[in-house]
Structure formats: C-alpha cells, structure tokens
Structure 1
Amino acid sequence: MNSRFRGARTLSASGRFLWAAVVVAASCQTAGGPGAPVPPPELPVVVVEPGSIPAADERAAEDLLAAAQTSFDANRYFEAIRTAEELLAAYPSSQASGEALRLTALAHERAGQRSEAVAAADRYLALLPGGDERAQEMWLLQARALSDEPSESLGRLLRITTLEGSSARLEGAELARAAIDSLDVEVLAEIVSAAPQDGVLRPLTEARLAVSYLEAGFGDEARVAARRSLDGGVAGVEAEWAAGVLEGELPPGRGRVTTFAIGAVLPETGPPALAQYALGIREGIELAVSTVLGDDFTVTARIADDQGDPLLGAELIEELEVTDSVVGVVG
C-alpha cells in the first residue's frame, strides 16, 4: 500500500516536473528563445542631414509628408513635389526627410521630369547604407528615366543586387533587354566589365552579350560570356541563348549581316553643275562600298536620281529607307 502510494507520489512529482518543462519550453519559444523565428531587422530611418530637432518640428515635418503623400496618391505630382521640397528645406534633419526625398524622386518621374527624378534618386541612394533593399526602387526609377540613354540605363540596372517581387524582376529584365538591344557589342562589353559582379541582372546581360559577340565574329569572347552567364544562374530564353552560343549557334532571327546596300539620292540629271557634283559623289560611294569593309562583306550602292528636285529627293529617301536591303541612306 505504502509502496503504491510512494509510486503515485513519484509519478505525480514527475508529472509536475514534465509539465513545468513544457511550460518553460513554450515560454522560450514565444519569448524568442532557441528555435524562435527571427523577425527581419527594421530598416534604418533615412535622414537627409544628421541632427536633432524639437518634437514640434518633427510633428510639422510629419504633417507635410502626409500632405505630400496625399497629393501624390491623387496624381497631383507637382503639388507633391512642392510640399516635399518645403519639408526638405525646413526640416532636413527630421525623421520624415528621407521619405520626403524618396517621394520627390517618384513624383518627378510621374510628372515627366526625368533629369530631376534621376538627381533626386541619386541623393536618396547616397543616404542608404550598402546593400539596402530600398535601393532597387531607385535604380529601377533611374533606368526608366534614362531609357533613351541605354548605356546609362543599363549601368543603373546592373547595380541592382536584389529584385523583390515578380513585377520588379519582370520590369528589370525588360528594361535590361531594351537597353542591351540598343547597344553595339563594344559598348556593351565595357558596361559589363565595369559593373558589379553580384548584380542580379548580370547573367541575363552576359547571355545577350555572348550573342552579340558571336554575331560580330568573336567566338572565344562569346563562349566565355555564355559560360559566365550559365554559371551565374541565367534563366528563361537567355539560358537557351547562352547554351546555344556554346555550341556556336545564334538564336532564331539573329545573325551576322554580311550582304546589304547603302542608298544615296543624287541630282544625276539635274543642272550641269549639280550633275557634275553628283558624278564625283557617286564614284566616291561606289569606291567606299567596294573596299571599306573588306572581303567578308558584300555591299552595293543603290543610287536614286532626284533630278535636282528637293521634293522628289525627299520622296526617294523615304522609299530607300523602307527598302529591306538598304541599311542607310546618304544624300
């Protein structure tokens, strides 16, 4: 009887011990102990000018930022810019100043003020610590704003080390493709060589660089770029392109053009003085197309006679520009 009682007491004590252990373990989990999920670190507040300001000024800055954001959300971009710039001028050391500068860059872009958007984004980027994920938004903004300057646009894109979200990744890839396709191989190679190695869009860029190299007849450089692209984890159509380059194959629709024509409009049957001038120009064009590019190319001259009539000349230029074999028109 006593032994059974002692056993029951022992079991009861052990049960209390086990329950206490469970409670302690659960407390550790909820309090951030071993095995607890680690919350992402908060991003530091961006301040335009270091310093402290009175609480009343902080509240005034917050009110201005809220007003600027309201204007931005209502598509009143110039109003948003004015309000944000008022904040930056009056309270550059406020906790709201960095966000006001960011909003200024976005509003300038939406308002079509590209150079101002790029400048504001540069100011904001200079305030961010290295590796800050907020930089991707500004690099994309600058790439869009500089879309008519493909080398500058691509240079910004290649600085991006992370692209969070499918829409950002898609936008970055499309911007990069558009810029790359507007650049010749030498310029593209220089941009890639100067870009950071850890850029998220670098593998895509190197795959397209490999194709451009192969088109230009630089087989060794093409294979090196293709291999780097694949090693960097390129995906999608660019992965197929890079693999093809390693086999010496160009993508469909891409190839080195070696046969083409140069168009010209000359007053061959115009007034005697113009006709004599046209004869000399024709001889120069024909000599150039037959010798300048060497034996690897077949180049012909397509000469049209405008008879010294400017209106006819304009029509002939338009006709030559839409002729498939003609890559350029002089005259």
Structure 2
Amino acid sequence: MAVTKAQVAQLYVALFNRAPEGAGLNAWVSAGVFRDQAQTADAMLQSPAIAAYFNGRIDTNRGYVENIYKNILGKDYSQDPDGINAWVRHLELGHTRGETLVTLFQVARSPEAIAADPTAAAVFANKTAIAAYMAEKITDIESDGSGNFNYAPFQQIIETTNSTNLEEQKAKIDQLADAAKPGSKIFTTGVDTLKGTEGDDTFSAVYYSGDGDKTSTLSSLDTLDGLGGKDTLKVTVLKNGSNSQLDLDNIDNAMRGVTNIENLEIRSEVTIKAPVAPVLMSKLNKGLDNLSITSPGDIKLETDTK
C-alpha cells in the first residue's frame, strides 16, 4: 500500500517534531509509492540528511524511543519509564524502527489510550493535521544559499499546537503563506506602518475577538496605505476567551488607519453581532470595490460595493 500525505505528515511530527514543507512531503510520498508507512519511516531514518539532523541523538534504541515518545505522547523517561522501556524491548525483539513507530501510532490512537488521556490524543491529532496543512500552504524552507535552512517556523507551529487551537494555527500558516507571496505583507503585534506598491498588494492581519489576553496584529494604532493597484486586506478573526462574539464596530475602529484598500476579506471563526449587512455597508465600506465576509451561523457575504 502506498504511503499517503497524511501519513508522511505524521512521520514528520513523530520523528522530527516539525511540520514538513510541501516539497519534502511530496518527495517522500513519491518515493513511497511502493512502501507503507513503516517502510517510509525506515527510509527517512536512513537518509544522510536525517543522520546529520539528529547528530547522534537517536543512535541508541532508548534515544530513538525517547524522541518519538516525547513527540507523540508528550512524555519523557521520568514520566513513563516503564512505557519507554517496553518500546525499547520491542526494538530489541527485532522490529525495525519504522515498525515500532507505526505500532506506537496504533496504540496511541486506540480507544483505551484516548480514554486514558484524551488531551494528549487531541494534541497529536491536531499536530498531524497542522503539519499536513503547512505542507499544503508552504512549498519550501528558506535557505541562506550556503546550506543553512530556517526550520524555525516549521518547528514552532508544532511546538505551539495544542488540543484546542487548530484554527488559530491554520491562521498563522495562512499569514506565513501570504507573506511569502510577491507584494505581500503581514501585520505584527507591534505598531505597524505599512505601504503598498503601485501594483496589486495583499496585506494580512489577525484580529482577536473577546476578553482574553491574546494580542491582535490589527489595531487602531496601525497605519496602512495600499497606494496604487488593486490591493487586498485579509483579516482573520479568532476567538479570544469568552464573550467572543464579533462586533463589527471594533473591526471598523481597528481599521481606522487603513486607506487605499480596494478588497476587504474577513474570515471569522466567531459569530457576528447583529445586525450584519447594515453595519458592513456603513462601517466597513471605505471606498472598497469588493467586500467579503465569512463566519459561523451561515453568514457568507460577498459584495461589489461600487
């Protein structure tokens, strides 16, 4: 059976504790046409680049088991010595590292394991999902041209994924992907002064709705001048604690310093405080050509505002 993209993404998380880039994931999928997941894992572990990556950290059976145990279950030897020792014995009985890894996947996904620690199961499921999503959105890893690659974004997205923040992590990846495109810029949590070009530019921001402690990247202190061309502002609205219903007056206030944007796209994971259409027209129509908003509650509005 050929290995799937989801299975390769799972291997990246379990072995390397990072998300794959699209080119790397697709290369292993292509190489795995006649391999199953265990055989693909063994092939990955035998490649020279992987050996250099680990630099001796998984040379022993225990070192290998501790690595995958931590990445899959979030536990180290001090927390579960019996479990780690049992998987070391599994290797000593003659099973390959790939076979051992896939068997651990099966055990971790069993109803008994999920019932015993549903949070850990949800964390690994979300990490696997976000790994596949990142490979879909970002093709390559940045390099300085001397063989040094910037793995940090691919590591950080896995490190910060938990049992409940999958949509938030997807929004982060969308911003990274947008920033990688020509003519694209992203807002930060600081005070931003952004300017476009005479071409068509895309700007991306995150707005947190609610009373939590997360910081939006779009605020009333920011300024954005799209200048020429047909420019687009993409705003992703995420839940921030309780009372997270989106008040479009707040979005309007956050966009106080925005000018010369022709297209506004708002994608919200929280519901919008009514009334929707009148507020959209009166508050957000800042000389726009097109306005698009999507949120829960069957609200999807796309309008030519001219």
Task: Please confirm whether the aligned pair reaches a TM-score higher than 0.5, indicating the same fold.
Answer: no
Name the larger-Rg structure. Answer: 1
- Larger RCO (CA under 8 A, 6+ residues apart): 2
Per the normalisation by structure 2, the TM-score is: 0.26
Higher helix share: 1
